[in-house]
Structure 1
Amino acid sequence: MTIIHNLGFPRIGKQRELKFLLEDYWNNKISQPDFFEQAYKIQLENILLQKDLDLIPIGDFSFYDHVLDLSFALNHIPQRTAHIENKLDQYFTIARGQATKSSCCHTQAGSLLKWFDTNYHYIVPELTDHIDFKANANFYINQIKNITNHSDIPVTKLKQVLLSPVSYLHLCKNNSQQEALDFLPELTKSFIQLIEQIKQTGVQYFQIDEPILATDLEKPWQHAIKSTFEQLKQTGVKIIATSYFGKLEDNLDLALSLSADVIHIDALELNEAKQVSERIAKDKILSLGIINGRNIWKKEHDHYLTELNSIRQHLDNRLWLAPSCSLLHVPVALEQELNFDPHIKNKLSFAVEKLQELSTIKNRLNTNEFDLTDQQNSKNTANKNSKTAISTSTSTSTSTSTTTTASTTKNSVQNFNRASSFIKRKDIQKKHLNLPLFPTTTIGSFPQTKQIRTIRQAFKKNTISESEYIEQIHQQIKHCVDIQLEIDLDVLVHGEAERNDMVEYFGEQLNGFVFSQFGWVQSYGSRCVKPPIIYDTVSRKHDITVKWTTYAQSLTDKPVKGMLTGPVTILNWSFVRDDQPISQTCFEIAKAIAQEVLALEQAGIKIIQIDEAALREGLPLRKHKWPEYLDWAVNAFQLTTNSVKDDTQIHTHMCYSDFNDIIEHIARLDADVITIEASRSDLSLFDAFKRFDYPNDIGPGVYDIHSPNLPNQLEIQSLIKQATQTINADQLWINPDCGLKTRNWEEVIPALKTMVSAAKALRKEFKLANLS
């Protein structure tokens, strides 16, 4: 009998209950006991949605981040938070930072990085000298007790989820391979103690996640994984060695050799699964991740089942089925969605529905409810009923695909470069814009206040007219511009009051997208996004940002940036059609954004920012696949900019990513100015610029907007002066490290005033230095 299980479930709740609970606690609206009570209610609801599984994951629920949870469970806590006695407050301090009564002092938050090639961010563990690893499983045990005390689900049906010690070390901050692995013996000893403590609850199965098995691994890491599983197996629990986010490839032999009762692999394509099924030891179970945990299209079962059945016949009862990875990356439940066209909704599957799909596949396999002899007909049916052939337009997917493929082929050989070199453009832009040394700006968005959200909702519900909506948004833009003028920023923005989200807003203005009502996905902590769904050919309907940007520009003589989201980011932060290459979809988006860029330029906007925050996260986990991705991704960005005039300054923004290994490709974007995160990483991102002579201008984020901490002027000045050791002063801009939409004005105004004061002080200092 085939067993079905899940690797992880969305934490946030159907209506983002966790997000609002976190914000209430951080704003001192509820007590800590109330926080725990309500949080565990959310966790219980998540578990009950999975009750029909044979094994249910436990420990995947988190108050903020599962990597941070493990850090706490192992007593791997930054020394700078040791003064905080309350464990929950200490936990959130690492996640978000903490201000003190003195505005000049604060506790820095942990660094945020993307979780492999997803849009989820984790808190990066920090390796320092003299770490005292010590197991404390209370957080996980409390989750188990919550379920067994408040439901009829037996503890034997629960499966503890833990990130492997080796993958944990691989994700740590600022350490060489050998330095990280030096910590493994003590870490593993503590990890085993953690398992022993959890084991006392009666949980039998432990899902040990080893996501780095889907990446390129050097020999020391491979040996570490094998050795660690040998030690973990000595605990006597049943171990599920879990890989996801891609094929094993050259780690296949390693995975097969692991001391584990169950080996789970990503099996969205069954060719590798067949190899594993033929080679796996007779005493091991094979778990296949057959449901896509990262996209929202329903699986076509028929053809897949015929291949899957051949594997089942070979393994007999040693076959388990699961999603490919945790369902953290998809929305909770499709049943809430009432506004989808029925033809579209019938093709979609969120977390709850994916588990229903899994149950259906299990039942069909166990009862042989499919025709094993008509494989070719099944294959034809699967092709005909492509997941994304759901367009409500009259165009056929065949003609669309042919046209776009030809266009993409043409793009691959055309010149994507701008007409003139950066050196020439910079000289022209310097005279045209007349900006000072260390020019100041922001990344684009300003606080999304309750009033702004109310205006948007009123317009959406037709309770105010379009003219009333425009007038009220104009008031918000004027308020934003007035504040920036008072602060004395050099380059302004309109504040993005009209935008709900940097990707969703653009998708709403383009053909080929549809939108959910409640399709929220966690990005980090309380931050949730609602990815658009790309289901058809993408094209531009009309001007998207021009009227808002030109209105803001009419209020000041200072330059106002046009703010756009780049094609790669729109692609990577959407649920994308999978019936054509994603590069093809990306070029469609790029052409639409290019038209908007030219419309802004023609309207008199001289600085245009095209954010590519997700460029790095789209990199395949295997390096041999990087060149192809980077080629079309960079070309797509260049396509949006290569027709503008030399005096139009192009900016781009990238956040929370390690650029060291792709810096040459970042340079190939040829943006006049790139802004990047630098505050949380203490300028570690500048390591790339030490070995690579980056030619264009750079704005290192000088303070962390994801923390409530207010920046300190001397710290900003010190950071910029440190940057000048690597980058010429006349290449540097000063800006926050990301958009300000999640902060409030009481935080934003003093923070930006401090930033501008730091820039002005630096100008004086560098002017005097040059005079001397």
Structure 2
Amino acid sequence: MKSSNLGYPRIGEKREWKHALERFWAGELEETAFLQEMKELRLHQLRKQQEIGIDLIPVGDFSFYDHVLDAAFMFGIVPKRFAQQEMSLRTYFDIARGNDTAVAAEMTKWFNTNYHYIVPEWHEAPKLMENRPLRLYEEAKEIGIHGKPVLLGPVTLVKLSKGYESFKGAVEALIPLYEQVLSELEEAAWIQIDEPILATDLSDEEFAVLRAAYTRLRKATNSRLILQTYFDSITRYKEVVKLPVDAVGLDFVHDRGENLLSLQQYGFPQEKYLAAGVIDGRNVWRADLENKQALLEAITVVVPKERVIIQPSASLLHVPVTSKGEALEPILQNALAFADEKLAEVVLLAKGANQAALEASHAALAALSASPVRNQEAVRKAMQNLPAQVERNSPFTERRELQQVRFGLPLLPTTTIGSFPQTAEVRQKRRAWRRGELPDATYQAYIRAEIKKWIEMQEEIGLDVLVHGEFERTDMVEYFGEKLAGFQFTKNGWVQSYGSRCVKPPLIYGDVAFVAPMTVKETLYAQSLVSKPVKGMLTGPITILNWSFVRDDIPRRDVANQIALALREEVEALEDHGIRMIQIDEPALREGLPLKREHWDSYLADAVYAFKLATTAVRDTTQIHTHMCYSNFEDIIEAIAALDADVISIETSRSHGELIAAFETHTYEKGIGLGVYDIHSPRVPKLSEIEHNIARALQVLHPKQIWINPDCGLKTRGIDETVAGLCIMVQAAKRARRQLEAVIQ
């Protein structure tokens, strides 16, 4: 059987990609040198896959920022506000990051992952600007690799876009451009076209458009076409396998067994290849090769071996590069497989795994399963005694009045999401402390000084509700994982989240439990400096779950509830120490939503339960906040209401206030914090932009519901731009407040 890969991590073993990007953006690297560094990294990654033994090596999966932006840019799908700029590398990055005169394009989650893509915006007919896959294919040939070009499919590209008048018309406008791209790739033996949208619920009309598109694309090339799906089972199996392509790629890991069932029930065309995604491309655990061998045996009952291609279930973009160099305890280290190790598993299965390899993988996972960290008696007992219902003592209408008396906040109160700039000095001090080069007392004094400085700055800016700034935290999930039992961290387990932003997800490998207070010390110190309320800041159970690599031997809902029980103890500790505003952020709640609506209710019920398990033990006068960013709230508005948080903060800047529309058709009575400016762009927002977002919200929401805040934490921004942005935000809020008070009077 042939081996294949769908995509390789861009960032490099030591995040060389990230560092080159940020030096280029800072003006420290000329464009020519930047392009050369990126080319060298790209070719290095191709050589690694060749050395591992992959037969079909992807080219075109590498990106300077985002593969969806790459596809849109290649076809001239550029937001109108950037259309007058030259189609250059600068324009490409301006679309992603914004500039002094134009806001960045909207950013949202790539299906149900923690990767963010740039949403393409249509304003005129597309046109082919460059055959990017051909350029990268020719580049790979320079080192003797005849790769497999990878393209984002036309239907998925359109479905992920906005601004077009007609879905059918948009796809039909793209097809001649795709035909040209394919025809020019005449030397490529295989071409992979990604259509992950097929794992969602397409209508009959939409599928008819897709069928017509591939009927045309098949005629444009003599290369073999792989129609690649991933992240779930395909909804229209019988129709998809009949499409005029040479191979169909299916995910046999995250499909709940449905792809295999369809294969067994309906068969598979004899003339086609099946690209079988049998190695988990989204988690870090070593495969049990005995189970994978059994899966392949079931597949090859239907599809002859010579027509099966072995590959990961999805692009390896979602996992770290390699587990080599990690220094974890052997029982855990031996159970891990990052991108390189997964590709080795793919090759092993394609060639036929020997008995020793089968037994080694099984033994490694069995040893971890039997370890004490996965068999904590106290956690087991707590899980057996979970309450059937978790509710606040009183309804929101009663709590709201009590909280208003306690806090005495004005209309449109202003606050931030939690973090303030993590300067180079902050990061350097933390690194020195972690390495043992800075005494604990010295480091703690430094953190307190940063907290004090930013408390004073927040008061000077005029914010109504303050935060301590999170200077002690590396990452909103990592920080808590380091303080809870059941977590482990890697040295180089980085993955891309958006742009150059890389995160290092923790490994949830054991039973999760509370050990000691995690946030009380810093929050109490901040509160001691000021009379205004300071929010306690926690990360919610579903976000910790979705932003971690999670053990796969028990249901995810059980892991979420273990985390929730641990967070519940932290919430109670904060409240016992007098902190009466507590924010439990759930920015990843929607990203875990299954791709098929039939599975939504179960996931959302589990998510709501876990959040409430963590938060509902507090007094009525304690105000619970949560934060969600870059989500389609209309999809989950009922679940958001069911969380019963007193205040939820959302994004309204990159979407230009469009998310507010969700509240036009759904009644929502609780507090809503508007993310009125985009913190992912270095530009300082204009007063008029923030005023527009506030005015848009006031058309839909009662003034007493609305809070004003940035759309996310300010960790990645500079000090000057942060202060300038917040000053403008407070100015806009005060102007709107005066206008409202004048009307009320």
TM-score grouping bracket, smaller chain normalisation: over 0.9
How is 1:69-468 mapped onto 2 (pairs within 5 angstroms)? 69-85=70-86, 87-99=88-100, 106-128=101-123, 131-149=124-142, 151-153=143-145, 155=146, 158-173=147-162, 179-197=166-184, 199-200=185-186, 202-236=187-221, 237-248=223-234, 250-268=235-253, 272-273=259-260, 275-276=262-263, 279-312=267-300, 314-337=303-326, 339-364=327-352, 369-370=354-355, 386=365, 389=368, 393=372, 396=375, 403=381, 406-407=384-385, 410-411=386-387, 413=388, 415-468=389-442
For the 8 Å contact 1:390–1:535, the answer to whether it is kept is: no
Partners of 2:657 and 2:37 lie apart in 1 by 39
Aligned-pair CA distance for 1:714: 2.2
Q: After superposition, what is the alpha-carbon deviation per residue over 1:468-510, rounded to whole angstroms, capped at 9, x for unaligned?
A: 1111110111111111111111111000000000000000000
Partners of 2:227 and 2:707 lie apart in 1 by 47
For the 8 Å contact 1:297–1:387, the answer to whether it is kept is: no
SS of 1:335's equivalent in the other structure is: coil
Partners of 2:9 and 2:95 lie apart in 1 by 22
SS of 2:490's equivalent in the other structure is: coil
For the 8 Å contact 1:162–1:209, the answer to whether it is kept is: yes
Aligned-pair CA distance for 1:247: 1.2
Q: CA RMSD of the aligned region, Å?
A: 2.0
Structure 1 residue 23 corresponds to structure 2 residue 22: yes
Q: Which residue pairs with 1:606 in the alignment?
A: 580
Gap change, CA 1:271 and 1:96, over 3 Å in 2: closer
Q: Which residue pairs with 1:557 in the alignment?
A: 531
Aligned-pair CA distance for 1:281: 1.4
Partners of 1:528 and 1:215 lie apart in 2 by 28
Aligned-pair CA distance for 1:715: 2.1
Q: After superposition, what is the alpha-carbon deviation per residue over 1:92-148, rounded to whole angstroms, capped at 9, x for unaligned?
A: 01100001xxxxxx21111001000000000011233xx222123343333223322
Q: After superposition, what is the alpha-carbon deviation per residue over 1:221-278, rounded to whole angstroms, capped at 9, x for unaligned?
A: 2212222111110012210011100112x31112211111111100126663364277
Structure 1 residue 654 corresponds to structure 2 residue 652: no
SS of 2:735's equivalent in the other structure is: helix
Partners of 1:244 and 1:230 lie apart in 2 by 22
Q: After superposition, what is the alpha-carbon deviation per residue over 1:602-635, rounded to whole angstroms, capped at 9, x for unaligned?
A: 1111111000000000111111111111111001
Aligned-pair CA distance for 1:577: 0.5
Q: Which residue pairs with 1:764 in the alignment?
A: 738
Aligned-pair CA distance for 1:712: 1.2
Structure 1 residue 627 corresponds to structure 2 residue 604: no
- Structure 2: stretches of 5+ with no match in the other structure: none
For the 8 Å contact 1:703–1:737, the answer to whether it is kept is: yes
1:66 corresponds to which letter in structure 2? H
Please, what TM-score do these two structures have when normalized by structure 2? 0.96
2:715 corresponds to which letter in structure 1? K
SS of 2:149's equivalent in the other structure is: strand
Aligned-pair CA distance for 1:29: 0.9
Gap change, CA 1:753 and 1:389, over 3 Å in 2: same
SS of 2:166's equivalent in the other structure is: helix
Q: Figure out how many residues of one structure are paired with residues of the other and give that number.
A: 738
For the 8 Å contact 1:659–1:685, the answer to whether it is kept is: yes
Partners of 2:291 and 2:374 lie apart in 1 by 27
For the 8 Å contact 2:374–2:511, the answer to whether it is kept is: no
Partners of 1:304 and 1:391 lie apart in 2 by 21
Partners of 1:708 and 1:283 lie apart in 2 by 53
How is 1:45-56 mapped onto 2 (pairs within 5 angstroms)? 45-51=44-50, 52-56=53-57
Aligned-pair CA distance for 1:370: 4.6
Partners of 1:521 and 1:388 lie apart in 2 by 27
Q: Which residue pairs with 2:644 in the alignment?
A: 670
Gap change, CA 1:89 and 1:391, over 3 Å in 2: farther
SS of 1:617's equivalent in the other structure is: helix
For the 8 Å contact 1:522–1:529, the answer to whether it is kept is: yes
1:240 corresponds to which letter in structure 2? I
Partners of 2:517 and 2:112 lie apart in 1 by 32
Gap change, CA 1:53 and 1:737, over 3 Å in 2: same
Partners of 1:174 and 1:390 lie apart in 2 by 50
Partners of 1:167 and 1:138 lie apart in 2 by 19
For the 8 Å contact 1:444–1:739, the answer to whether it is kept is: yes
Aligned-pair CA distance for 1:30: 1.2
Partners of 2:420 and 2:484 lie apart in 1 by 24
Identity of aligned residues (%): 43
Aligned-pair CA distance for 1:659: 1.0
For the 8 Å contact 1:73–1:194, the answer to whether it is kept is: no
Could you tell which deviates more after superposition, 534-543 or 451-460? 451-460
Q: After superposition, what is the alpha-carbon deviation per residue over 1:539-581, rounded to whole angstroms, capped at 9, x for unaligned?
A: 1110100000000111111111100000000000000000000
For the 8 Å contact 1:299–1:387, the answer to whether it is kept is: no
Q: Which residue pairs with 1:686 in the alignment?
A: 660
Gap change, CA 1:383 and 1:351, over 3 Å in 2: closer
Q: After superposition, what is the alpha-carbon deviation per residue over 1:2-61, rounded to whole angstroms, capped at 9, x for unaligned?
A: 000000010111111111111111111111111111111111111111112111000000
Aligned-pair CA distance for 1:152: 2.8
SS of 1:734's equivalent in the other structure is: strand
Partners of 1:191 and 1:184 lie apart in 2 by 10
SS of 1:325's equivalent in the other structure is: coil
SS of 1:321's equivalent in the other structure is: strand
Aligned-pair CA distance for 1:359: 1.2
Please, what TM-score do these two structures have when normalized by structure 1? 0.93
For the 8 Å contact 1:166–1:184, the answer to whether it is kept is: yes
Gap change, CA 1:400 and 1:307, over 3 Å in 2: farther
Partners of 2:12 and 2:639 lie apart in 1 by 39
Partners of 1:751 and 1:404 lie apart in 2 by 45
Q: After superposition, what is the alpha-carbon deviation per residue over 1:357-384, rounded to whole angstroms, capped at 9, x for unaligned?
A: 111112225xxx459xxxxxx99x9888
Partners of 1:174 and 1:559 lie apart in 2 by 42
Aligned-pair CA distance for 1:405: 5.4
Q: After superposition, what is the alpha-carbon deviation per residue over 1:501-550, rounded to whole angstroms, capped at 9, x for unaligned?
A: 00000000000000000000001110110000001110111010000000
Aligned-pair CA distance for 1:458: 1.4
1:144 corresponds to which letter in structure 2? Y
For the 8 Å contact 1:607–1:651, the answer to whether it is kept is: yes
Q: After superposition, what is the alpha-carbon deviation per residue over 1:390-433, rounded to whole angstroms, capped at 9, x for unaligned?
A: 57537637x688646534xx44x2x2110011111111111111
For the 8 Å contact 1:698–1:733, the answer to whether it is kept is: yes
2:155 corresponds to which letter in structure 1? V
Q: After superposition, what is the alpha-carbon deviation per residue over 1:428-454, rounded to whole angstroms, capped at 9, x for unaligned?
A: 111111111110000000000111111
Could you tell which deviates more after superposition, 486-495 or 136-145? 136-145
For the 8 Å contact 1:364–1:370, the answer to whether it is kept is: no
Aligned-pair CA distance for 1:316: 3.4
Partners of 1:405 and 1:605 lie apart in 2 by 28
